[in-house]
Amino acid sequence: METTTTSSTLIDREAGEAQRVFCWRLDVLERAGYPADDAGLLATSTHVDLHLATYLRERGCPPETALRILL
């Protein structure tokens, strides 16, 4: 039996993967101590280095300052 993959199936898979990545990033950022709104903004900004974002908070950087650095 042959299965076919349509472009809409691929788009659905990519959208699902993007949503999973967003949720994972959001969780990591909230655990690092970012308020929900800030974590959401950073999670959608894929150019933001997640390791740097968590490092800044671990070192005591206030969320507002970290946002200015990261964005």
Summarised one tens digit per residue, pLDDT across range 13-63 is 778 999 999 999 999 999 999 999 999 999 999 999 999 999 999 999 999
CA 54 to chain centre: 12
The model carries a pTM of 0.80
* CA–CA separation, 68 and 29 (whole Å): 15
